[in-house]
Structure 1
């Protein structure tokens, strides 16, 4: 009897399945597309993923940009290289425009008023887009991807660890790590053939330095102890980036493909190393000011995290803490190597504030005003994150005229905003730190660390670290961009030089 009942129900199940597919992949997207078209918002037309999709076009544009001829060392084509889909589609469809990632509608936005509402005044109507499950091996389920009450708890704990007074206490650690790197540089310069200058890839050097600093300040270890974790994360980045550029197929990550098995192995080893580090540091938690100590023993009983939550936060901060500052330093030194007049201005200020041959201390930070302007201008031209993503959690109206349905994803084109001549003037693509001498006119014209409640919790450490490292190096060395350097900004998970950053350093007399 049950067999005949099953035969009768099969057509019903099949009909429901087909109806669900048509609803999700045909009716709803076309209805959303019409909704935006009626408001004057156009974009590449929606096509179901099985007929080709703008996600594939976007992926091809990014691949072509990375394979394209490198550009001269100017800043006009940064947007074109790092977000080619935005660059090309905005020229055709204007801004904002609508495009598609699978059956998900994405609204690309570069209007500061709209961005301010999304990130600040109406932030409660927008949440983070759920991570592609493949990326959990790299980030875990830490602060970057959390929502709701758990985000509040994790944010409160991380804010305690990265408040400015705590970060200032880490200045001696930052100085010590940087000094060790400079000692190695000095030895290499002395061993050089001409005994006066040395060429090397500062991108690699700053990644090792930043890894050592985040290890010492946030986790109470050092680069040699955390080296394997960073190596594993660098391997994961390549695989995660490949996955993020493709529409995720539910359940695909559980198939024993070569890529998935590699991801599983990397995630397992990373998790085990982080767990061991946590156990090792538990005994020192009472006398430590590190992020790890704060995660293990928060100031409020209600903020207690379980072991998995601590592991996930460690994964997040190992990655973000290294990538953000290392890339900021890389682009800063490339820009100062290209613009020698600003290198000289920074050096004069460091000598005046810190004294010649002296290392900076926490009291010097506020007086390094030229250094601060240089870092801000670098963050404007080459922000570590090229864009931000949000998703409407409810129907919302933006700037009093644009109705955005719940579920719509928002692509906030940060790099395009930072290079917009309408915002920054005709010299928007020129390196000019003096533009930061006065406060900016619009809150959302410059947001390298985000805005609003979800502004980057580690920005204090990133800026202080960059100030200290720049001050120490510019005080001891002169440097220039090597003729072998190839200018090819590339969007990985962060904005990086595709072929490294070769520079020539010499000791000041």
Structure 2
């Protein structure tokens, strides 16, 4: 018995000692060596803890920033959603370094360095992969394009990229408009001819984009893929939790409650996608959508061949990234137009000129929507899809004056760069689409919502077409107004999940100036509004949108509108002659 115990002890020590030495090497020796390299160059950062780095300090900063009272909505979001981008540079200068566990993140905001790294063709700077090196977070994307690096990433990219060239996307516009039209028709049925109604646009846009992705990329529908989307929502929450904690090697194999749930979710997502591929695969094999191209590649005996598990990973990646990015962008764009009525009016006038009152957008008239494009670009500047990009340094390298050791993770704060007053001027935190007027462009390292270089987002063309189509069709049929004040906190609490309730005012073109010769007729059409103040608001705010050619009458109309609104409850008629003179 003693001999057996001795053998077990020796076996335990044989396994434990190398593991302990590995932990000491990873968490103590390597970080101290890298820290000395940074200090010699004057690069500083917040004091780190041996195991967790600055994870606790980051969480404290975020909690303090988001607990501060929010007096009004504004676009100066960096200090609230990513306070370390402002707090730590003020204390330690730029660039600065912070640590998540044993790995340093060197935060660099210089556009020249950003451009040099992201366009580098040598392989010195590798994609850090999704989840920041945390296997628990990587489960969200699996071995799909977002999480892959090196040659495997390049092979997948060569298969997938052709599915998203602009000519192929133009062929999908009719499907996108049909799905969008169905959503808008549903809204109009729900509003029951009311003068206004409220919608949580974030939820609606998630369903819309999920349906578009399911249709154009996989030949299915939202209902078929609904379970996948629901499971990925829960996976996202667990992935965010994993990314904000320090990962101990091997911890993913410990059967904790959360780890068991992660494993269960991952298996269910994969099984659901496998069934979808089996159901839709046969009809997609000869099509030009994403699933069809991947299935065709799976039958090739060349370097481009993709196995079924790889296809599942890519479906998982595209289902999640395509939906989140596009739905969030559309939410922010509609919110910004609701807040900035002058730009909403300009965008609507452009849409009506290009598409008319009822014609759906198509490949030809979409190219004429210059103002809509400016609005979307400015939205991407203020609220980019991702707050940062990481690149792993594979060997010691010099970037300008920076001597960067191997093992460093370069951290490019997209959100902070997009709000930098040194790049965008003193109004960097203001919504101003005119920055992008007449096709104006900026330094590649100063504006990169979809990334730049070889790893630029493969689906950006589809995202922009989806956005233009949806926004144009919404503006054709509705005026947007911000709804209840509570939306401010909801928006500011989360950069990536803007739960936003907007008020929609249907634009009823049949109630034209020919039918509304005097205010009384118009007021009767608006009588379903809840009170006289709302009648006045609706009239004055919609006259210019509905009848842009008659804006020279606006002062008389406003006067008549005010008189009519305050007298309506007393059933007093305002003669048309009052303002026809």
Structure 2 match to 1:448: 449
1:88 shift after superposition? 1.4
- Cα 1:431–1:396 change in 2 (3 A) is same
How do residues 45-60 of structure 1 correspond to structure 2 at under 5 angstroms?
Answer: 45-49=47-51, 53-60=53-60
Looking at structure 2, the residues matched to 365 and 503 of structure 1 have their Cα atoms a distance apart, in angstroms, of: 25
Distance 1:341 1:260, change over 3 A: same
In the alignment, what sits opposite 1:408? Answer: 408
Q: Kindly tell me: are residues 370 and 14 of structure 1, through their superposed partners in 2, closer, same or farther at Cα, counting changes over 3 Å?
A: closer
How far is the alpha carbon of 1:390 from its aligned partner? 1.2
Answer whether contact 2:386 2:449 (CA < 8 A) is retained. Answer: yes
Structure 2 unpaired stretches of 5+: 509-581
8 Å contact kept, 2:58–2:84: yes
Map Cα deviations across residues 316-342 of structure 1 (whole Å, 9 max, x no partner).
000011001100000000000000000
The corresponding residue for 2:534 is none
Instruction: Tell me the SS of whatever aligns to 2:449.
Output: coil
Name the residue aligned to 1:293: 292
Structure 2 matches for 1:140-289, cutoff 5 A?
Answer: 140-190=142-192, 195-289=194-288
> Of the candidates 15, 29, 32, which is equivalent to residue 30 of structure 1?
32
Are the aligned partners of 1:480 and 1:504 in contact in 2 as well (CA < 8 Å)? yes
Cα 1:33–1:280, aligned 2, differ >3 Å: closer, same or farther?
A: same
CA contact (8 A) 2:285 2:291 kept: no
Contact 2:138 2:147 in 1 (8 A): no
**Is 1:381 aligned to 2:385, yes or no?**
no
CA distance in 2, matches of 1:80, 1:477: 34
**How far has the Cα of 1:288 moved from its partner?**
1.8
Please report how far the alpha carbon of residue 56 of structure 1 lies from its aligned counterpart in structure 2 after TM superposition.
Answer: 1.9
C-alpha deviation, 1:68, in angstroms: 4.1
Range 38-47 or range 210-219, more displaced: 38-47
Please give the secondary structure, in 2, of the residue aligned with 1:139.
coil
1:33–1:46: 8 Å Cα contact kept in structure 2?
A: no
Does 2:322 match 1:313? Answer: no
Equivalence for 1:102:
101
Distance change >3 Å, CA 301–CA 341, structure 1 → 2: farther
State the alpha-carbon separation in 2 of the partners of residues 17 and 296 from structure 1: 42
Q: Give, in angstroms, the shift of residue 86 of structure 1.
A: 2.2
Distance 2:214 2:85 in 1: 36
Who is 1:459 aligned against?
460
Counterpart of 1:337 in structure 2 is 338
**2:104 aligned counterpart, secondary structure:** strand
1:484 Cα deviation after fit? 3.3
Corresponding residue SS for 1:367:
coil
Distance (Å, rounded) in 1 between the aligned partners of 2:165 and 2:145 = 16
Post-superposition Cα deviations, 1:189-246, rounded to whole Å, max 9, x if no partner, equal 116xxx2110121111111111111111111111111111101111111111111110
CA distance in 2, matches of 1:69, 1:324: 28
Q: Tell me the residue number matched to 1:364.
A: 365
RMSD over aligned Cα atoms: 2.3
SS at match of 2:105: strand
SS of aligned partner of 1:138:
coil
Contact 1:201–1:503 (8 Å) recurs in 2? yes
SS in 2 for 1:284: helix
Residues 365 and 8 of structure 1, relative CA distance in 2, 3 Å threshold = closer
Instruction: Give the TM-score normalised by the residue count of structure 2.
Output: 0.82
Q: Does the CA-based 8 Å contact 1:71-1:487 persist in structure 2?
A: no
Shift of 1:396: 1.2
| 2:352 alignment partner, SS class | helix
Secondary structure of the residue that 1:479 maps to in structure 2? strand
Residue in 1 that maps onto 2:516: none
Written as runs of structure 1 = structure 2, the 5 A alignment for 1:380-399 is 380-398=381-399
Q: Which residue of 2 aligns with 1:323?
A: 324
SS across alignment from 1:411 = strand
TM-score (normalised: structure 1): 0.93
**How many aligned positions are there?**
499
Q: Is the 8 A contact 2:53 2:98 kept in 1?
A: no
Q: Is the 8 A contact 2:81 2:492 kept in 1?
A: yes
State the distance in 2 between where 1:273 and 1:323 align: 19
Cα pair 1:82 1:386 within 8 Å, conserved: no
The answer to whether the Cα contact below 8 Å between 2:126 and 2:150 also exists between their aligned partners in 1 is no
1:430 aligns with 2:430: yes
Question: Secondary structure of 2:106's match?
Answer: strand
Distance in 1 (CA, whole Å) between partners of 2:421 and 2:9 is 66
2:515 matched residue in structure 1 = none
Which range is displaced more, 165-174 or 8-17?
Answer: 8-17
- 1:74 — aligned with what? 74
Aligned to 2:479: 478
Confirm or deny: 8 A CA contact 2:138 2:239 kept in the other structure: no
Measure the CA separation in 2 of the matches of 1:28 and 1:223: 48
CA distance in 1, matches of 2:255, 2:197: 47
Asked whether the equivalents of residues 80 and 492 of structure 2 are also in contact (C-alpha less than 8 Å), the reply is: yes
Please give the alpha-carbon distance, in whole angstroms, between the structure 1 residues aligned to 2:275 and 2:8. 52
8 Å contact kept, 1:70–1:486: no
Structure number with greater Rg is 2
- 1:234 and 1:84 map into 2 onto residues whose CA distance is 25
Q: Which moved more, 1:181-190 or 1:296-305?
A: 296-305
Alpha-carbon distance in 2 for matches of 1:11, 1:483: 63
Q: Which has the higher contact order (CA 8 A, sep 6+)?
A: 1
- The equivalent residue for 2:565 is none
Give yes or no for contact 1:117–1:123 (8 Å, CA) kept in 2.
Answer: no
Distance between the aligned counterparts of 2:12 and 2:365, measured in 1? 75
Whole-angstrom CA distance in 1 between matches of 2:502 and 2:202 = 10
- In the alignment, the residues of structure 1 paired with residue 321 and residue 10 of structure 2 have an alpha-carbon distance, to the nearest angstrom, of 55
Q: 1:505 to 1:339 in 2, by over 3 A?
A: same
